[in-house]
Amino acid sequence: MKVISPKNIDEYIESFPEEIRRPLRQVREAIRKAAPDAEEVISYRMPAYKLNGMLVYFAAFKDHISLFATASARAEFPEELSFYKGGKGTIQFPAGKPLPLGLITKIVKFRVAENIVKVKSRNK
């Protein structure tokens, strides 16, 4: 049973059945590898990562795993993301299908670089 207000990402993941935990762990690992210095937090009741501002969020839903990566990330990878449903800044990876972990890594690295540029421009 899903925890309504998880205290941390481990608790969030463990609140799902194993068939959902596995892809959630894969997404988490891809994010950690792409942004090893990012801080893991729970925000809006979802796992999230901060590094010079918010990077990405992810969450499990009935039929998909969503990555919330901002509209700029979605615009940066239009061809690769054309296979996935989603909103302006959201990507939905269908349940039961292999996750595009390489693409998730590229998106997170893009977001890290984007946040670095924002911080530098604020400090000028």
* DSSP code string of 69-85: -HHHHHHHSHHHHTTSB
pTM more than 0.95: no
Per-residue pLDDT of the chain (124 residues; tens, 9 = 90+): 455 789 999 999 999 999 999 999 999 999 999 999 999 999 999 999 999 999 999 999 999 999 999 999 999 999 999 999 999 999 999 999 999 999 999 999 999 999 999 888 887 7
Per the CB < 8 A criterion, the answer to whether 24 and 60 are in contact is yes
Per the CB < 8 A criterion, the answer to whether 39 and 111 are in contact is no
Was domain 9-122 assigned CATH 3.40.50.300?
no
Q: Where are the domains of the chain?
A: 9-122
